[in-house]
């Protein structure tokens, strides 16, 4: 279940500050991993979740929940082997809060998503 902050955040900093204390460090690490892979992506809040946008398209969302950090959209089929030990559903992977965030895997997913977004942006031109 998603933990909704009392006041709707307008920035990722506000979202992290309002998140449950046990999720804040994980959120900070996920955010930093995304920034490292996609430094040109713009941060925003969309659907009350942190999001990164690249070439005018959503690259990735992430959100704190009671027991996990969700990453969306997640190319579940493309990463079936890597995601095998995590709970997944269509376009979503859930990383448990009681385990270290798999930052190398998150970076790999974001690189994959960035290539898809860039290909779509090129095709549109």
- Within 13 Å, how many C-alpha atoms sit on residue 43's CB side? 17
| CATH number corresponding to 12-124 | 3.90.1150.200
Taking 90 as the threshold, does the pLDDT of residue 60 lie above it? Answer: yes
pTM reported for the whole predicted model: 0.90
18 phi and psi angles, rounded to 5 deg: -85, -10
CA distance linking residue 74 with residue 83, whole number of Å: 10
Taking 70 as the threshold, does the pLDDT of residue 65 lie above it? Answer: yes
pLDDT of residue 122: 83
Closest-CA residue to 16 (of 54, 58, 57, 45): 45
Before 73, cis peptide (omega within 30)? yes
pLDDT tens, residue by residue, 82-118: 999 999 998 999 999 999 999 999 999 999 999 999 9
Taking 80 as the threshold, does the pLDDT of residue 54 lie above it? Answer: yes
Average pLDDT over every residue of 28-45 = 97
Q: Mean pLDDT score of the chain, rounded to an integer?
A: 92
């Amino acid at each position: 279940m998603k933990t909704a902050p009392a006041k709707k955040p307008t920035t990722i900093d506000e979202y992290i500050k309002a998140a449950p204390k046990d999720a804040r460090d994980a959120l900070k690490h996920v955010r930093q991993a995304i920034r490292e892979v996609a430094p040109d992506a713009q941060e925003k809040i969309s659907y009350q979740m942190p999001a990164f946008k690249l070439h005018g398209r959503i690259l990735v969302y992430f959100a704190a929940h009671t027991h996990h950090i969700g990453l969306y959209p997640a190319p579940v089929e493309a990463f079936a082997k890597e995601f095998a030990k995590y709970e997944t559903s269509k376009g979503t992977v859930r990383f448990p809060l009681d385990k270290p965030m798999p930052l190398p895997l998150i970076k790999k997913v974001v690189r994959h998503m960035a290539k898809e977004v860039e290909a779509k942006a090129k095709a549109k031109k």
